[in-house]
Amino acid sequence: MPSTAFDSALFRDMFGTPEMRAIFSDEALIGRYLEAETALARAQAGAGLFPAAAALAITNAAQTMVIDYDKLRHETEIVGYPILSLVHQLATASGDAGGFVHWGATTQDIMDTATVLQIRAALLLIGRELDNVRAILISLAAKHRDTVMAGRTHLQHALPVTFGYKVAVWLSSLNRHAERLNQALPRILMGEFAGAAGTLASIPEKGLEIQKRFCDELGLHQPPIAWHVARDGIAEAVTLLGLITGSLAKIATDVMLMATTEFGEVSEPFVPGRGASSTMPQKRNPISCELMLAAAKSVRQHVAAMLDGMIHDFERATGPWHVEWVSLPESFLLTASSLANAKFMLAGLVVHEARMRQNLDITHGLIVAESVMMAAAPRLGRQKAHDVIYNACRQAIEQHTQLADILLQIPEIIEALGTPEAVRQHCEPTKYLGLAGQMVDRMIATTTATLPATV
């Protein structure tokens, strides 16, 4: 029976996706090991190290052999690594060419390269889903470019904003993550073939040529030097996932708070039974947001583990490497889950515009106190204007009345602004949005220019 959320029949699609699980399945991993072994054989044959027929035989054997998984598991537990056992099976299946299998390589060469091949496939999936979420946010920001709501700082009303502006801020961080992903690929997608201590000592004459041919076979970058114990590329991949899930969790946190009964400004998409309670029929819990938040918290722990795992000893490590075997697949699964939940939640997000307006007005105009202060400052001076408006705000709060009504009783404010109507205009939240609309337009244009045409 499955024993973790990642392979549980109950929870696995809440903490991962089928596509990402397929990338990190045992079968896919062994396939990557064989892909690396056969690429190495072809590279070495191409460099004249042994006959091309031998490389062909090894490649054919890898594609047709029936792997004894029980034997592979048993021997992996004994040796501590799966490569030796797999090499034995591949060599046997390759017949006379079997003696050329794994020539000059070390276990970590094959495992590291296989890991990079997995990461490449996984990052391609992450990039695609990130683009999908960005496209959804473009539509949401455009639709609500002018939907006015309360901006909040320290959980208190601050100034009016628009919901489109809030969405555009969410979008900005995801744009940067897409940029980071593309920039990181050359640093992460490096093959590894360097031998026992990284010096290619067993094939010195043609080692670097074979290394380049090997990387070219797999479509990976040739490393400038062995990275057996320089794990920054792998750590960067997981750190990037931590950044992505962190930004998605920020979105989820905003949505969850806005969906609280007291705010009531948004709701997750309605699906019968989703977010229901076993005892409270009225409940509609923000399940997607909760899963996005859980993913971020979990990936954050893996980021810490991967950074700690960078501290390797000498030319081959005694244990930090093994941390990657746990943290890497789980981080990718959690990130895929978070992106899937973000797609679902944001694509169907219900925005309650009337409630946003109601909440905007609950402080009786106090949310635009700055608007009046800045309008009066040229005549009164900024500090004097601040003090006068501050006292007016206190009166409005104590008397539970509109700020505009208090201000209209202050002659110096009317004189500073010109007319009573000007005072009322400056107390209207929709008139004090700054450049929110222009910022939304700019973010939409910037993002649209970077998205693939197929999104």
Strand partners, 157: 152
Burial class (CB in 10 A: 0-12, 13-18, 19+), 2: exposed
Burial class (CB in 10 A: 0-12, 13-18, 19+), 453: exposed
Size of the chain, expressed as the number of residues it contains = 455
Residue 326: CB atoms within 10 Å: 13
The answer to whether 259 touches 266, Cβ cutoff 8 Å, is yes
Distance between CA 328 and CA 95 in Å, rounded? 35
- From the list 100, 72, 70, 99, the residue with the least C-alpha distance to 84 is 72
Strand partners, 162: 148
DSSP string, 140-178: HHHHTTT-EEEEEETTEEEEEEEHHHHHHHHHHHHHHHH
The answer to whether 214 touches 35, Cβ cutoff 8 Å, is no
Residue 169: CB atoms within 10 Å: 18
Known catalytic residues? 154, 277
